[in-house]
Amino acid sequence: MSSTTGDLAPGHEHDHHASYLTATKGVASWLFTLDHKRIGVMYLVAILTFFLIGGLAALGVRAELFTPEPDLFTGSQYNRWFTVHGAVMVFLVLVPSIPASLGNFFLPLMLGQKDVAFPRLNLLSFHIYILGALFLIYTLISGGVETGWTFYTPYSSTTDSSVISALMGAFTLGFSSILTGINFIVTIHKMRAPGMTWRKMPLFLWGTYATSLIQVLATPVIAVTLFLLMFERTFHIGIFDPALGGDPVLFQHFFWFYSHPVVYVMILPAFGVISETVSIHSRKHIFGYMAIAASSVAIAFIGFLVWGHHMFVSGQSELSGTIFSLITFGVAVPTAIKVFSWVGTMYGGAIRLNSVMLYTLAFLFIFTIGGLTGLFLAVLAVDVHMHDTYFVVAHFHYVMMGGTLMGFIAGIHHWWPKMTGKMYNEKLAKFGCLVVFTGFNLTFFTQFVMGARGMPRRYHEYLPEFQLWHQLSTIGAFTLAAGLFITLGYLLLSLKNGEKASKNPWGAKSLEWETESPPIEHNFVGQVVCDHGPYDFDEIDYSRG
């Protein structure tokens, strides 16, 4: 048995059986590590830090909206606050969230491998991420941007705020995503443990795989678009700005051609996490493995054909609008299949209602609302009324924040023992989950109501008739923040005095649980072989037929 506290005499060759956390020491051993686990942990820390920044910006926005009049900010300051919130949350948090942190950490482990296919590329993608983040931080310090995270032209091509550095940030971050995507695709194709066929791959990997496909195919388009916008601003050559002879609606097409698929970059990995947690903590084989795996890939592809549903009132032709509406329903079906399959998985199980499962149930609850409310927006005539109101804001927070974030938190709780070797306080975790769930729904359900009643988004001031809903939403946002701080608190505490985690505290069957907690530096001693499916639990009673 290898030790988890393998301290070594200085000057020695390091111990290959020591935990990855302690195998080598010093800041440089982290910043320049090629170990996918350390890179995953660094991503996790960075992503959570930006989540804090983006979250504080959201609290600023919500605090301002407590009353209809301007209280804290001028219009132009308010616009900077919501832009920071959106841009940080999308580019620095949601896009990398699960794949870059949990994906990096667990993809090789779940495949029974020692690392990803290209460890150096992996490190490079982290460094590029930090570089991109620095551009965005510079943007903040140099006065901020007020274009919204969507950078719509011609506003973004004419305003005199720090648009260029913000675009550079988003542009750079794109490369980080592309590199991670390529790395994961190659790793999954080429480096599965002996015996691990595609059909024996844990569904988390299917989710990550579909995500990587989108990242590689869609990100170059946004990179080119942002580049064109920088080009236009710098050299005054008309591309999107009508004053220079450009077409502002073209920008929207380009932008959503990337940004719609990217919502699947955010959500597919969360689907992957939920497929793991719902099965493992119900002690039952996942229901409809192939349907879940195939629907991830189907969503990834159909997701490329629906961008125009963000533009039903933009002035695009009626024919395009109609086609985009129709195809959009085509994405709804595979998504529905997943939800049904997860609930089906619980049937006949032995469900442990621990915090991981509670977050999983919270995910299902919230994501179902997010999905069902998306249907209103896919329907042409109803979207005309709802577009650019708080209804849309509420919908995408239910999907992105509720879906991706609940999935992310579920995943962090599920894999925390493996990543850190420590168990957290389960009682506090359940309590935190309850607070997060309540706060979340209070924040965003109220936004459906005011949105349907006509409250436009990105408003610094509003009509008094919406005040009640805005106030409830603000109270919800602070509750949600409290819940997240509780969560952060007990997780950090567990590092200090958490109970030591066993190799496989959940009785899971995928390969990451076959190594130590935390894993040894090179993941496994010798070559692991995969001789069972990831959901063939010991409790399953095959005699029941």
Partner 1 sequence: MTLASLLPFLAASEARAEGTFWMPEQASTFAEEVDWIYYFIYWIDVLFFFLVIGAMVYFAIRYRAKTGKERTSPLKGSHSLELAWSAIPGLILLSFFWFGFQTYMDMQVPPKDALNIRVTGQKWNWSFEYPDYGIRQGGDQGLVVPSGQPVMLTMSSVDVLHSFYIPDFRVKKDVVPNRYSTIWFEAKGTGDHQVFCTEYCGDDHSRMLTKVHVMEPAKFREWVRDNKADDGPVDGQSLFSSMGCIGCHSIDGSKLVGPSLKGKYGTDEQLTDGSTVAIDDNYIRESIMVPGAKVVAGYAPQMPPYQGRLNDEEVNALIDYIKTLK
Q: Which is nearer to partner 1, 218 or 406 (CB)?
A: 406
Q: Which is nearer to partner 1, 193 or 380 (CB)?
A: 380
Q: Nearest distance from residue 332's CB to partner 1, in Å?
A: 6
Q: Nearest distance from residue 44's CB to partner 1, in Å?
A: 29
> What are the C-alpha distances in Å from 348 to residues 276, 285, 288, 345, 507?
17, 10, 15, 8, 18
Q: Nearest distance from residue 470's CB to partner 1, in Å?
A: 12
Q: Nearest distance from residue 375's CB to partner 1, in Å?
A: 6
Q: Which is nearer to partner 1, 231 or 347 (CB)?
A: 347
**Cα–Cα distance for residue pair 128/54, rounded to 1 Å:** 20
Would you say 181 and 211 are in contact if contact means Cβ atoms under 8 Å apart? yes
Q: Which is nearer to partner 1, 227 or 376 (CB)?
A: 376
Q: Which is nearer to partner 1, 99 or 334 (CB)?
A: 334
**What is the b/e burial string over 78-89, where b = at least 16 CB atoms within 10 angstroms of the residue's CB?**
bbbbbbbbbbbb
Q: At what angle do helices 163-190 and 75-87 cross, to 10 degrees?
A: 10
Tokens representing residue 174 in the block: 């794109």
Would you say 156 and 142 are in contact if contact means Cβ atoms under 8 Å apart? no
Tell me which residue has tokens 């940080």.
88
Q: Which is nearer to partner 1, 351 or 493 (CB)?
A: 351
Q: Nearest distance from residue 36's CB to partner 1, in Å?
A: 31
Q: At what angle do helices 406-420 and 248-282 cross, to 10 degrees?
A: 50
Q: Which is nearer to partner 1, 122 or 282 (CB)?
A: 282
Tell me which residue has tokens 């209804």.
391
**Cα–Cα distance for residue pair 98/104, rounded to 1 Å:** 9
The H or E element that residue 406 is part of is: helix 406-420
Q: What are the residue ranges of helices labelled H in 33-142?
A: 36-64, 75-87, 97-98, 104-111, 119-141
Would you say 413 and 385 are in contact if contact means Cβ atoms under 8 Å apart? no
Tokens representing residue 191 in the block: 């480096």
Q: Nearest distance from residue 190's CB to partner 1, in Å?
A: 28
Would you say 506 and 1 are in contact if contact means Cβ atoms under 8 Å apart? no
Q: Which is nearer to partner 1, 78 or 106 (CB)?
A: 78
Q: Which is nearer to partner 1, 285 or 509 (CB)?
A: 285
* Cα angle: 104, vertex 422, 29; to 5 degrees: 50
**CA nearest neighbour of 251 among 221, 216, 220, 219:** 221
Say whether the peptide bond before residue 154 is cis (omega within 30 degrees of 0). yes
Q: Which is nearer to partner 1, 142 or 322 (CB)?
A: 322
Query: Checking phi first, is residue 113 left (phi over 0); if not, alpha (psi -120 to 50) or beta?
Result: beta
**Cα–Cα distance for residue pair 36/280, rounded to 1 Å:** 24
Q: Nearest distance from residue 211's CB to partner 1, in Å?
A: 23
Q: Nearest distance from residue 247's CB to partner 1, in Å?
A: 8
Q: Nearest distance from residue 294's CB to partner 1, in Å?
A: 11
Q: Nearest distance from residue 198's CB to partner 1, in Å?
A: 16
Q: Which is nearer to partner 1, 194 or 464 (CB)?
A: 464
**Cα–Cα distance for residue pair 95/83, rounded to 1 Å:** 16
**CA nearest neighbour of 105 among 525, 512, 535:** 512
**Cα–Cα distance for residue pair 533/506, rounded to 1 Å:** 16
Q: Nearest distance from residue 311's CB to partner 1, in Å?
A: 9
Q: Nearest distance from residue 176's CB to partner 1, in Å?
A: 28
Length of the chain: 545
Q: Which is nearer to partner 1, 78 or 184 (CB)?
A: 78
